[in-house]
Amino acid sequence: MVPLTFGFSDLLGGVSFLVVVIGLFGLGEILATVQEGLRFRGVASRIRLRDVLATIAELPRYWATLLRSGAVGTWMGIIPGGPTAASFMS
């Protein structure tokens, strides 16, 4: 048996650096969460139907912005390398 493989042949090639970095980040987040005591510090709120309808009623005022952003979003979705370019554009 090869040492430090624990019987898994997949470990013969080593462990990817990216996997190790992501694991260490996750471990740090878990330890930070345990230290904070899993407290939820959010604020409860309610959205009334009247507020939603008022917002929808304002949308026609921004027709040019809606068309422009729709065209840019469509173009960014069509071109190759979309997610990277789209996140840069946003």
Q: pLDDT tens digits for 30-77? A: 888 888 777 767 777 888 999 999 999 998 999 999 899 888 888 877
**For residue 82, what pLDDT is reported?**
60
**For residue 9, what pLDDT is reported?**
80
Residues whose CB falls within 8 Å of the CB of residue 2, separated by 6 or more in sequence, listed in order: 12
Reading the block at residue 22, the tokens are: 């992501």
- Domain coordinates of the chain in residue numbers? 9-79
14: alpha, beta or left, given left = phi > 0 and alpha = psi -120 to 50?
left
Residues whose CB falls within 8 Å of the CB of residue 73, separated by 6 or more in sequence, listed in order: 86
